[in-house]
Amino acid sequence: MKENVISKETSEKTVLVGLITPQQNEAKANEYLDELAFLADTAGAVTEKRFLQRVDYPNPRTFVGKGKLEEIKQYVEDNEIGLVIFDDDLTTKQVANLERELQVKILDRTSLILDIFAKRAQTANAKTQVELAQYQYLLPRLTRMWTHLERQRGGIGMRGPGETQIETDRRIILDKISRLKDELASIDKQKSIQRKNRGKLTRVALVGYTNVGKSTLMNLLSKSDVFAENKLFATLDTTVRKVIIDNLPFLLTDTVGFIRKLPTHLVNSFKSTLDEVRDADILVHVVDISHPQFEEQIEVVNKTLAEICGPDNDKKIIMVFNKIDAFTYTPKDDDDLTPRTRENVSLDELKASWMAKMNDDCVFISAKKQINIDELKEKLYEKAKEVHTARFPYNDFLFQKYDTCDTPEGNDDITSVQSPE
């Protein structure tokens, strides 16, 4: 696994490679490469150039065509590039052929994400989850590591003990995967007991795409010091804090962000996040509205939530559109007859559209500039109060609120009534 880790202190020069296919147009391919460049930056690599090729399907031998591979090889040699990152998962054969042709380190999207996970993991739970994901990724890719120890030919004097080095390694890794799963089962049992001991509290989980501002919002609402940074996967450990709004306490959980093209086994490795989402009463779906493709990010999160909670998910959801301070748009001139695009839609129009779609269960804020935070707290309070009063019909609030509007007409002032001595 050491050769797949690039998280060193020094920056490493890299180039990115993607494909334009009938299923993925040029705009989409460039958008994926933008995200891949952000992932590379998070891992500590500096992107020098991008390569895109239009093909019907990936080359089964080298992912890209022969001419494009020569172009990449020439650029790598001329500019002393030490790393080439591909936007899609590569097969064992493709990695071996590419390393032989380019003579540099080859990574795909999944191995890059795993490197970031290994760099960010802090707790024993997260480290175990990352290690399990790394071994599951490594298991089908053992072949290229032992090409110098292929199974020996038969004949006199060539009969060995019956197990090659690759078979030995495969058995060792399977044993480690089994051990890590047992460790995670033990940790999961401990987490389950912790969740049961949380008492009569409504559970609220912050969910959303990676780098949308969940941890910043968590710090703002809970007055805690959760690590937050403008990088992908700044959060890998679920953090739970008790938050009190008015007279109602509830639990707020910060979770790992989702991302496109994330393999299933990688999602399943982070069971603690999935369990926190499953057990939550209210989901706060945080969205980066300043991102050009925020609607597609919403679809990715909704699809992942459907896989986690099942298609019949009846959890209360509040949509929180964050980073309104960074939102920009290009107004159209009156004499401009070109079709209207996403870049021409103003923030007010988006507000009207999404409020109608979500039945006002959405709020537009800036966690960094603390804009509209009071409105978010009001919505959180109302949703948490609904769950709390339905689950605990007897009054379990910190203190009772009395509405002055309920006083009889003509008695606007409330006077205290003393009991007779």
Kindly report the CA angle at 134 between 132 and 138, in degrees rounded to 5?
120
- Is 87:109 a contact under the CB 8 Å cutoff? yes
Tokens encoding 366: 């800036």
Residue identified by tokens 């991008």 is 50
pLDDT digits (tens, 9 = 90+) for 190-244: 877 777 766 678 889 999 998 898 888 988 888 877 666 666 666 666 788 888 8
Q: Which residues pair with 287 in a beta bridge?
A: 321
3-class secondary structure, 353? helix
- pLDDT value of position 375: 92
Q: For residue 286, which amino acid is it?
A: V
Beta-strand runs (E) in 273-372: 282-288, 316-322, 362-364
Residue identified by tokens 């078979």 is 167
- Which has the closest alpha carbon to 106: 210, 17, 221? 17
- Which has the closest alpha carbon to 284: 314, 246, 239, 254? 254
Q: Which residues lie closer than 8 Å to 272 by C-beta, 6 or more apart?
A: 125, 129, 187, 188, 191, 237, 238
How many CB atoms neighbour CB 13 within 10 A? 16
- Which has the closest alpha carbon to 291: 330, 328, 256? 328
pTM of the model: 0.77
- Which has the closest alpha carbon to 363: 348, 375, 347, 349? 375
Number of residues that make up the chain = 421
Cα–Cα distance for residue pair 310/32, rounded to 1 Å: 28
| DSSP labels, 158-200 | ---SS--HHHHHHHHHHHHHHHHHHHHHHHHHHHHHHHHTT-S
- Which has the closest alpha carbon to 414: 399, 403, 397? 403
3-class secondary structure, 48? strand
- pLDDT value of position 414: 37
How many CB atoms neighbour CB 421 within 10 A? 3
**DSSP character at residue 59:** B
Q: Which residues pair with 204 in a beta bridge?
A: 252, 282
pLDDT digits (tens, 9 = 90+) for 30-73: 988 998 998 898 888 899 999 999 999 999 999 999 999 999 99
Q: What are the distances in angstroms from CA 149 to CA 99, 110, 166, 167?
A: 18, 27, 8, 11
- Is 71:77 a contact under the CB 8 Å cutoff? no
Cα–Cα distance for residue pair 150/164, rounded to 1 Å: 7
- pLDDT value of position 229: 61
Terminal alpha carbon distance of the chain: 81
| DSSP labels, 237-270 | S-EEEEEEETTEEEEEEE-PPB-TT--HHHHHH-
Cα–Cα distance for residue pair 321/213, rounded to 1 Å: 10
Cα–Cα distance for residue pair 75/81, rounded to 1 Å: 8
Q: What are the distances in angstroms from CA 418 to CA 402, 409, 414, 415, 421?
A: 18, 22, 13, 10, 9
* pLDDT beneath 70: ranges in the chain: 1-11, 143-165, 197-199, 226-237, 263-265, 268-273, 311, 394-421
